[in-house]
Amino acid sequence: MGRNSAHWFALPAVALLGVFLLYPFLDVLRFSTWDWSGLSEPRMIGLENYQKILRDPDFYNSLRITLIFGVMTLVPFVILSILLALALDGQPYERPVKALLFLPGLVTLGGAAVAWYTLFSPEYGALASVFPVPRWDQSPFWALVLIMLFTIWRHIGYGVLVVSARLKAIPRTLLEAAAVDGATPAQAFRYITLPLLRPAITFLVVIGTVLTLQGYTAVFLLTRGGPFGGTEVLGYYLYKTGFEVGRLGYAAALTVVILILTLAFALAQARLLREER
């Protein structure tokens, strides 16, 4: 029995991923040239869907909301990850706290959303009886804040882990040498720790982008795009157009556009990463 016979063991994974991941990924281009509701017979319409997207005010609105949501989530996510990792470093409670921070990312999303909803709902929520909760059911801004808090809540554990792993790789002797040379803790942080953390920070930005892209699940669970369409991030707009309105061809074209935007973003970030090496 030759060693090469082992290669066949990859077949199930390769075949399944080829059919259910790679093929749909490429096939979306074909769907995007269709006028198709999922039930009707598809009709070929060429690039008409793309032309419509370029003139679609809802698309631009959704793009704007996604960018706002992205920045709104990314900045506190990165800062909080760094601060927490620094504060936790070397503390006796470091392990249990890290373990707890990691938990929200794994637990049942729908259940977590229920807990958040019953806590923070301005009308029925438990906290509303203790202090006035901002009306996120009426104000698009507060609704975005809610989605942002939920997103950070779910992923802060991972963010802390990223910074923490990097922090542990900084040699103690470096900071001790700085202290011997008379650097204050603030100076040591500014000129030694922070520059050495930069790769971790760049990585957090990359993760943050992915989280922004995934934010639509939280939108679906908590606000359903409302109030007044104020939380309709791109992913949610895609879902709504495809499966609630039933314009699958148009949604396929939207998918392609979002993929291209994401790719452009990822390339820009990859360049940033390379410049830092």
Site for another protein in 110-169 (CB under 8 A): 110-119, 121, 123-124, 126, 129-130, 153, 156, 158, 161-162, 165-166
Element (H, E) at 43: strand 43-44
In the complex with another protein, the residue whose CB is nearer, 65 or 248, is 248
Of the candidates 41, 46, 57, 91, which one interacts with another protein according to CB under 8 A? Answer: 91
Strand partners, 34: 44
Q: What is the Cα–Cα distance from 219 to 222, expressed in whole angstroms?
A: 5
Segment contacting another protein by CB under 8 A, of 57-65, 66-74, 92-100, 172-180:
92-100
Give the burial class of 85: count Cβ atoms within 10 A of its Cβ; 0-12 exposed, 13-18 middle, 19 or more buried.
Answer: buried
Q: Which stretch binds another protein (CB under 8 A): 52-60, 65-73, 99-107, 140-148?
A: 99-107
Q: How far is CA 223 from CA 11, 85, 114, 218, 245, in A?
A: 43, 31, 12, 8, 18
Q: Do residues 212 and 74 make contact, with C-beta atoms less than 8 angstroms apart? A: yes
Phi/psi for 43 (5° steps) reads -120, 130
**Binding flag, residue 260, another protein (CB under 8 A):** no
As a whole number of angstroms, the distance between CA 16 and CA 27 comes to: 16
Positions in 22-81 near another protein (CB under 8 A)? 22-25, 27-28, 31, 38, 80
Q: Could you tell me the smallest distance in angstroms from the CB atom of residue 43 to another protein?
A: 14
Among 72, 74, 78, 88, binds another protein (CB under 8 A): 88
Q: Is 1 in the site for another protein (CB under 8 A)?
A: yes
Q: Rounded to the nearest whole angstrom, what is the least distance from the CB of residue 107 to another protein in the complex? A: 5
Per-residue contact string for residues 211-250; x = within reach of another protein by CB under 8 A: --xx-xx--xx-------------x--xx--xx----x--
Closest by Cα among 47, 24, 22 to 34: 47
Interface region with another protein, contact rule CB under 8 A, candidates 46-54, 103-111, 172-180, 225-233: 103-111
C-alpha 57/C-alpha 161 separation (Å) is: 40
Contacting another protein within 168-207 (CB under 8 A) = 185
CB of 6 to another protein, least distance (A): 4
Cβ proximity of 79 and 86 under 8 Å = no
The residues near 72 (Cβ < 8 Å, ≥ 6 apart) are 144, 145, 148
In whole angstroms, the minimum distance from the beta carbon of 41 to another protein comes to: 12
9 forms part of the interface with another protein (CB under 8 A): yes
Helix ranges restricted to H, the chain: 11-17, 23-31, 48-54, 57-88, 94-102, 109-120, 140-168, 172-180, 185-188, 194-214, 216-222, 234-239, 248-276
Nearest distance, CB of residue 226 and another protein, angstroms: 13
Shortest Cβ distance from residue 81 to another protein (Å)? 11
List 98, 134, 201, 205, residue binding another protein (CB under 8 A): 98
Out of 44, 67, 71, 100, the only residue in the binding site for another protein (CB under 8 A) is: 100
